[in-house]
Chains A and B, each alone.
Chain A
Amino acid sequence: MADESRINISNAAEIVTARRQGRVLAVQLGFDGSELTVIATAISEIARNILEHAKDGEVIISRCNHRRKCGICVVARDSGPGIADIDQAMQYGYSTHKGLGIGLPGTKLLMDEFHIVSVVGQGTTVTMKKWRH
């Protein structure tokens, strides 16, 4: 069982690949029901952000443990323009691209942990986790 997969994101088909990989690993880790769709959708959102706002980047999906907990960890990285005001970007309905502005705040709600680091001119990294309950 491959505990980590890395998917380059530079076109829409790769977003589909990333969320499929996420689903596969989540099943292996024992997630079930709507949690699988939660994980796939979260991956879809941040991979989509890479494509829409940074053109290309990568998504890394892996298993993670904390004490006795086991879960899935998703990292999305790009070297795009970065986000100047993260608080603003995390607000419901804020979008610079005529989007719904739901991607970032919505994904944060879906996952158990969500961190975003961004440097203007250097890029953005989103790290998020979902624990198996």
Chain B
Amino acid sequence: MQVPILKQGNYLIASVQSALSDDDLRLLRDDLSDRVGRFRSTGVIIDVTALDVIDSFATRTLQSVAQMLKLRGAYTVIVGIRPDVAFVMVQLGLTLADVGAALDLEEALEHLNRRSHKPNEYRTMRTGDPRGSARGGGAPSRPTLSGVNRRQDQDEKPRSGHASPRSLEHGR
């Protein structure tokens, strides 16, 4: 069964509908890799809400997909791991390194937006530096004040036609 992939701005969203076979997963990986290259996507969201079991095989595959996408310049966020599934995964000893996690689509988009507005992280991500993704995960890092202002300014520019006084100050 094929996994549908949606393009949304700079991001791709793949919704896993049911348990995946090896072939499905391989297809998903190749498909995502191809599109990340074609659309120059910077983020990929994989929605696994439909999965009632995530075993070591599924974890390994998700992780390898994420690692491969990272080399292609995109950061992966897994969305919708169910409470019971998360609990069993940790009992098994499974974690998702190099991958972000979010509660739902909205959160995942926010997570990706937040990342892409961090200038240095953005850079390391594009060059595929492994350190760039070392801080994956749901835990937001401690924000620094300058980082906060900077991100806001970047956000404001494209939206309002004129920059706020504050962001002008920064731009200089």
Among B18, B22, B52, B56, contact of A37 (Cβ-Cβ < 8 Å):
B52
A2 interfacial by beta-carbon distance below 8 Å: no
Q: Are A40 and B93 in contact (CB under 8 A)?
A: no
From 45 to 60 in chain B, residues with beta carbon under 8 angstroms from any chain A beta carbon are: 52-57, 59-60
Question: Within 8 Å CB of B85, what residues of A?
Answer: 37
Among B23, B56, B84, contact of A103 (Cβ-Cβ < 8 Å):
B56
The residue in chain A whose Cβ has the minimal distance to the Cβ of B58 is A44
Q: Are B94 and A100 in contact (CB under 8 A)?
A: yes
> A37-B53, A41-B55 given as contacts; is B84 within 8 A of A110 (CB)?
no
CB distance from B55 to the nearest CB of A (A): 4
Among B18, B52, B56, contact of A102 (Cβ-Cβ < 8 Å):
B56
Give the size category of A's interface with B. 20 to 34
Q: Are B91 and A100 in contact (CB under 8 A)?
A: no
CB distance from A107 to the nearest CB of B (A): 8
CB distance from B159 to the nearest CB of A (A): 43
CB distance from B22 to the nearest CB of A (A): 6
Question: Within 8 Å CB of A11, what residues of B?
Answer: 21
B145 interfacial by beta-carbon distance below 8 Å: no
The residue in chain B whose Cβ has the minimal distance to the Cβ of A110 is B91
B92 interfacial by beta-carbon distance below 8 Å: yes
Question: Within 8 Å CB of A12, what residues of B?
Answer: 19-23
The distance in angstroms between the C-alpha atoms of A92 and B92, with both chains bound, is 10
Q: Are B87 and A106 in contact (CB under 8 A)?
A: no
CB distance from B63 to the nearest CB of A (A): 9
Q: Are B94 and A40 in contact (CB under 8 A)?
A: no
The distance in angstroms between the C-alpha atoms of A33 and B60, with both chains bound, is 25
Q: B10-23 toward A: CB 8 Å interface, digit per residue (1/0)?
A: 00000000111111
From 68 to 91 in chain B, residues with beta carbon under 8 angstroms from any chain A beta carbon are: 82-85, 87-88, 91
Among A15, A40, A100, contact of B56 (Cβ-Cβ < 8 Å):
A100
CB distance from A71 to the nearest CB of B (A): 17
> A13-B21, A19-B53 given as contacts; is B59 within 8 A of A33 (CB)?
no
Residues of B within 8 A of A (CB): 18-23, 52-57, 59-60, 82-85, 87-88, 91-94
